[in-house]
Structure formats: structure tokens, C-alpha cells
Amino acid sequence: MRMRERRKNQTAREKFRQTQELSVKDLIMPVFVKEGISGKKEIRSMPGIYQFSLKEAVKEATRIYKTGIPSIILFGIPLARHKDAIGSGAYDQAGILPQAIRAIKKVVPKLNLIADVCMCEYTSHGHCGIVKGGDVDNISTIKILAQIALLYAQAGADMVAPSAMMDGQVKAIKDGLVRNNYSKVKIMAYSVKYSSGFYGPFRDAAESSPQFGDRRTYQMDYHNSDEAILESKLDIKEGADIIMVKPALGYQDIIYKTKKELKFPVACYSVSGEYAMIKAASLKGYLDEKKIVLEALTGFKRAGADFIITYYAAEAVKKWMKNKK
């Protein structure tokens, strides 16, 4: 056996390729919509990624849909003066995210719209739920998360994505959706969300940094892998349609493990810090951006991800991907 025969030219490499080429259908593009701005505002720590006004978010969603990307995941950012201790803006029918969902669905109804379900953007303290005694209270928080998810479903979301890492959040949301006749709305659970330093630029984008402490009492310890399977099994039992691993770049072993052991639809989120590192190095000329991005995204797919949330989705499809179908 001569292994180099498998690599001698492009035809040979493609013949022996074990992971299919990236497809546009694999990708999900995040979109930030911000209350009270006009036009769009570039995020300082994420060059090329923007906060959009409501009007511009509709235009951006339309542009993304025209590339062939089937899904976006939407994050809402309220005005600072509308934030409070209980995150009431997250479950206000006139809030920025329900407005965006309705507006986007009106213009591009076939776009699969995923709404992130959390409270950190809407709370004055920046944590993902109701704080009692210096920590996030699980029981009171999941009740509100269920209320938020139902509101987004009523606005027209095709899928809701609870990201707060509260115990029982998927069941609370599922029960609320079924009880109110929105059982067709799917749930993509942030089942395996690690407490990570890679989230820094997102907190700039979503204006959601904790005002005290951190999120280690509810997000996972990155030393643990077996816990990922337990968290995922619990969410599947509670009614999740897709489980997610986040971050992605340093966690391909977790993607592989969850897919292999559970044989369930798996998404991964290539997070803001991953994007920022590649983009910064590329702008400096230290890396070949196209090669690095396609290598990283293929790595996630090779590890077992069925869906890849990435800030590079639109750019990759427009500039670099050969197999766009």
C-alpha cells in the first residue's frame, strides 16, 4: 500500500475524500439587530460584522437568503435605558427581537429564522436570568425563558434556541409551546455551552457583559467531556430537536463525542473569539484567510457537526466555497 497515491493530484484526493465538501446548507449566519440605531454599526472587535437597525436587519436577512444560506440566528440588543434587573425587554411584544422576526418573515418568509432565547442582553446586570442572592435563580428564570420563547414563536420564529444553560429550560419551553399550539416550532438547545474566554467579542456585539462575577455557575467547566453527554441526553429527553456544542474550535472532541454516542442532530457554534482571531491575523497578513476558514469549518463537519453557526457563513459562500448546493 502506497498512501501517497491517494494524494498525488486533486482527482485522487477527491476520490479518497472521507468528509464531503462544505455545503451552504451546513451553515447558519448570526445577525445582531439593535434598537435605536440607524443603518449599521461595525463591531470593533469583529471587523466585518455589524449591529443592524431593524430596517437594515431585514436587508441583511434578504442578502443572506439570496446566497443560499438557509438559516440565520437572530440576537436582539435593546437600548441601555430599557434594561432592568428582570430583563423585561426580552418578553415585551414591542421589543426589538419580536419586531425583527415579524419584519424579516414578512419579506423573506422561506428563510429559516432561529431566535436566541436568553436574558443577558436585556438585564441590567448582564447575567442570563433572575439574580437572587448573588446568583442566577433557576426556577424563576426558566419560567421567563418559556415566556420569551413563546413570544418569539408567536412573532413567527421557526426555531428557538435557549442559551441560558438553566436546568430544565428545554422542558419549560417545550411545554409552553405545546400548550399554546406552537408544537411545530423547533428547539435548538445550547446543550453543551462551556464557560469560555472565546465569547469576549460577542459580549461587545450583544452588549451583554456581566456587571459582576462570571457565568461559571451555569455554563460548563471546560475540563469536562462526559458532562457534555449528560447535558445533551437531558435536553433530548426534554424535547430538543437539535443539540449544540459551543465553542467549536477547541471542542471538536466534544462535537465528535456527542455525535458518535448520541446519534442525534448536532450543531456547533464557531464563536466570536474564533472569528476575531482569524480575522485579525488575516488582516495582518499572518494567515491565508480562505484556507484557514475552510479548514476550520471542514474540521467541524468532519467531527460530526450537522449545522455550523459561523460569522464567516456569508463571506465563505460568496468568496470561497466551490460546492454551494
Domains located in the chain, CATH noted: 20-319 (3.20.20.70)
| Catalytic annotation, residues | 193, 246
Q: How many C-beta neighbours within 10 Å does residue 11 have?
A: 7
Question: Is the per-residue pLDDT at 323 higher than 70?
Answer: no
323 vs 209, which has greater pLDDT? 209
Give the tens place of pLDDT for each residue, 107-119: 999 999 999 999 9
| pLDDT at residue 324 is higher than 60 | no
Q: What is the pLDDT of residues 2-55, one digit of tens each?
A: 888 888 998 988 888 888 889 999 999 999 999 999 999 999 999 999 999 999
Please choose, from the candidates 59, 68, 52, 49, the residue with its C-alpha nearest in 3D space to the C-alpha of residue 112: 68
For 149-163, what is the mean pLDDT? 98
Choice among 28-32, 86-90, 166-170, 257-261 with the minimum mean pLDDT: 86-90
- pLDDT for res 80: 85
- Whether the bond into 247 is cis, omega within 30 of 0: yes
State pLDDT tens for residues 203-220.
888 888 888 878 889 999
